[in-house]
């Protein structure tokens, strides 16, 4: 089968026309080259993009077994990849094959070009994205070798981290791959050191954290503690990425801080089918990848594997303490840290997400179930509503709760409705113990009572309505939260308490009312799932993230 390099070669390595090169000359400087000269090394940050004017360049991928040639570039060709645009460590060595002349375009100049010349922007962006995909598809991970067992959670965490950050790597599975043992021997390692990450064939990390891998690979921009940003966004889920794209495209100085990888919860969805404009659906990973590229095209900085640990909100600029010990400062802050659905403690739960396991019970999921019997887990109102909704075509619904019954956690009207619906069966004191199925969920086991024996049932649909926990612990009391820990904004601040004379929420310091997505602290906003009363949908999160930028403009001009 043709590799991606072969099948999409023309788009991956397109030629610039004489007119396009003439336009680029306004942003670059001409340099004479000599054969054998290395113009940039793998791992170097802030690399220039080179356009070949005469002579030729070799693009090589350094690896433990020597250099792998990727392509030879001749006049009209250009170097570069997504990392060039971000100023991060690149993957290739650029060496002069035949002496001649090149046009060097620096990272800031490159950013100006992609923001101002739409024709060249399209050629560059498509080539950069495809070149990254080519590196990933070819598993040319000489940069990163991950040695571990795909049956270990530590290895899977690192696989997920690198994959969700679209970083090319080579996985050597100790259970199936002879090379894995050779690799361990080469670096004097034992199986007790696994999982191991080898960065650029030189640095060996034993069971590293995501942050250690990110630091070793230069995946993050250098942060300047003295710089006061216009906006710092905490969280790179759909809401945070949308805010980053709109803020950066409108000229604001933006930094995004993300604990794991862009995409948030949506990043774990195999197919989002209800997001406008994607009639056949789009994977969360693809959506996040596109949004990240878009944000970076406009100049947003994104730091991954970095958490916000503290927010100091008593004066402007606000200060955000990060997990790597640094502090960043900003005139405004967008809290986009989302929520996490409570998960069942089952190792293979993630394998069935969207393939029989669902966190929402809308018409989409109901259609997927056809007439099949389903299980709903949870004792709250969302579980009750889901059970009634799924039961209304006569489908059999098993409502599974750990407690003795529903009285303590569900509204009375829903309990009555469940009691009156004969095709809903309540299983109290019951816990799900196992999920089974090849490629999708086919069977579910549950146990009733502490000493009950697990029973396996051929049920293919499991709805987890066990509630979401907002990621707000890092706010440490800075802004008002609702009783479940979600951030109150705009109109919801009145619910918390109003000064009847002024019509403003209690404690609100300004004469104007809080803006729609503003928290109890002017200049600090909350968007997406972390916000109390939000819709908990991708489209809603994206909408709030983009609307918030208009409010920030209004505030910065006050």
Ligand X SMILES: Cc1cc2nc3c(=O)[nH]c(=O)nc-3n(C[C@H](O)[C@H](O)[C@H](O)COP(=O)(O)OP(=O)(O)OC[C@H]3O[C@@H](n4cnc5c(N)ncnc54)[C@H](O)[C@@H]3O)c2cc1C
Residues that bind ligand X (CB under 6 A): 234-240, 257-260, 264-266, 268-269, 272-274, 307-308, 336-339, 341, 353, 359, 471, 474, 528-530, 536-539, 541
Q: Which CB sits closer to ligand X, 239 or 466?
A: 239
Q: Which CB sits closer to ligand X, 24 or 292?
A: 292
**Main-chain phi, psi angles of 402, to 5 degrees:** -75, -30
Q: Which CB sits closer to ligand X, 159 or 355?
A: 355
CA distance 509 to 10: 59
Supply the minimum distance, in Å, between the C-beta of residue 473 and ligand X: 8
HSE, CB side, 13 Å, CA atoms: give it for residue 152.
18
Contacts of 254 (CB under 8 A, 6+ apart): 229, 230, 231, 232, 233, 244, 247, 248, 295, 299, 300, 301
Supply the minimum distance, in Å, between the C-beta of residue 373 and ligand X: 22
Supply the minimum distance, in Å, between the C-beta of residue 209 and ligand X: 14
Alpha carbon of 496 to those of 479, 513, 514, 528: distances in Å? 12, 14, 13, 20
Q: Which CB sits closer to ligand X, 96 or 245?
A: 245
CA 212 from centroid of its chain's CA atoms: 18
Supply the minimum distance, in Å, between the C-beta of residue 218 and ligand X: 20
- Burial of 498: CB neighbours in 10 Å, binned 0-12, 13-18, 19+: middle
Q: Which CB sits closer to ligand X, 157 or 417?
A: 157
Alpha-carbon dihedral of residues 200, 206, 210, 216, nearest 10 degrees? -30
Alpha carbon of 478 to those of 19, 47, 311, 439, 545: distances in Å? 55, 40, 7, 45, 21
CA distance 419 to 31: 80
The helix or strand, by DSSP H or E, that contains position 260, with its residue range, turns out to be none
Supply the minimum distance, in Å, between the C-beta of residue 444 and ligand X: 17
Supply the minimum distance, in Å, between the C-beta of residue 383 and ligand X: 16
Supply the minimum distance, in Å, between the C-beta of residue 308 and ligand X: 4
Smallest CA-to-CA distance from 218 within 91, 43, 47 is with 43
Q: Which CB sits closer to ligand X, 158 or 266?
A: 266
Q: Which CB sits closer to ligand X, 239 or 430?
A: 239
């Amino acid at each position: 089968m043709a590799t991606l390099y072969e099948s999409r070669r023309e788009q991956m390595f397109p030629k610039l026309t004489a007119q396009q090169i003439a336009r680029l000359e306004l942003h670059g400087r001409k340099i004479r080259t000599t054969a054998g000269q290395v113009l940039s090394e793998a791992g170097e940050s802030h690399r220039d993009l080179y356009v070949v004017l005469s002579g030729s360049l070799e693009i090589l991928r350094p690896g433990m077994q020597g250099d792998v040639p990727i392509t030879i570039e001749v006049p009209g060709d250009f170097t570069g990849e997504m990392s060039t645009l971000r100023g991060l460590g690149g993957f290739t060595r650029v060496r002069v094959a035949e002496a001649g002349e090149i046009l060097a375009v620096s990272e800031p100049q490159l950013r100006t070009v992609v923001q101002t010349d739409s024709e060249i922007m399209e050629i560059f962006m498509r080539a950069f994205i495809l070149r990254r995909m080519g590196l990933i598809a070819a598993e040319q991970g000489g940069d990163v070798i991950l040695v571990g067992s795909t049956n270990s959670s530590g290895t899977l965490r690192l696989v997920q981290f690198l994959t969700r950050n679209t970083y090319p790597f080579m996985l050597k599975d100790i259970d199936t791959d002879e090379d894995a043992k050779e690799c361990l021997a080469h670096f004097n390692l034992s199986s007790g050191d696994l999982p191991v990450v080898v960065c650029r064939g030189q640095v060996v990390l034993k069971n590293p954290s995501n942050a250690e891998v990110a630091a070793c690979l230069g995946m993050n921009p250098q942060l300047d503690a003295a710089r006061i940003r216009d906006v710092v966004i905490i969280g790179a889920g759909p809401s945070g990425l949308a805010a980053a794209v709109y803020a950066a495209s409108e000229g604001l100085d933006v930094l995004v801080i993300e604990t794991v990888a862009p995409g948030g919860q949506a990043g774990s969805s195999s197919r989002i089918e209800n997001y406008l404009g994607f009639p056949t659906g789009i994977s969360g990973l693809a959506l996040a990848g596109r949004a990240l590229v878009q944000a970076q095209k406009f100049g947003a900085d994104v730091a991954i594997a970095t958490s916000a640990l503290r927010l100091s909100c008593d004066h402007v600029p606000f200060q955000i303490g990060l997990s790597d010990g640094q502090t960043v400062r900003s005139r405004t802050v967008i809290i986009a840290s989302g929520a996490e659905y409570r998960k069942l403690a089952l190792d293979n739960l993630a394998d069935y997400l969207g393939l029989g396991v669902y966190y929402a019970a809308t018409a989409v999921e109901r259609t997927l179930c056809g007439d099949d019997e389903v299980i709903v887990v949870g004792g709250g109102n969302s579980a009750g509503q889901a059970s009634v909704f799924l039961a209304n075509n006569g489908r059999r619904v098993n409502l599974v709760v750990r407690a003795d019954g529903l009285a303590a956690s569900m509204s009375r009207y829903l309990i009555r409705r469940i009691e009156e619906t004969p095709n809903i069966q309540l299983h109290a004191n019951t816990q799900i113990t196992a999920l089974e199925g090849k490629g999708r969920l086919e069977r579910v086991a549950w146990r009733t009572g502490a000493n009950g024996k697990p029973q396996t049932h051929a049920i293919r649909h499991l709805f987890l309505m066990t509630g979401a926990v907002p990621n707000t612990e890092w706010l440490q009391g800075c802004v008002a939260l609702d009783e479940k820990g979600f951030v109150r904004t705009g109109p919801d601040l009145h619910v918390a308490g109003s000064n009847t004379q002024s019509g403003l929420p209690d404690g609100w310091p300004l004469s104007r009312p809080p803006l729609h997505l503003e928290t109890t602290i002017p200049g600090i906003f909350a968007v997406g799932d972390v916000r109390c009363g939000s819709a908990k949908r991708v489209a809603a999160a994206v909408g709030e993230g983009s609307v918030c930028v208009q409010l920030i403009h209004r505030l910065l001009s006050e």
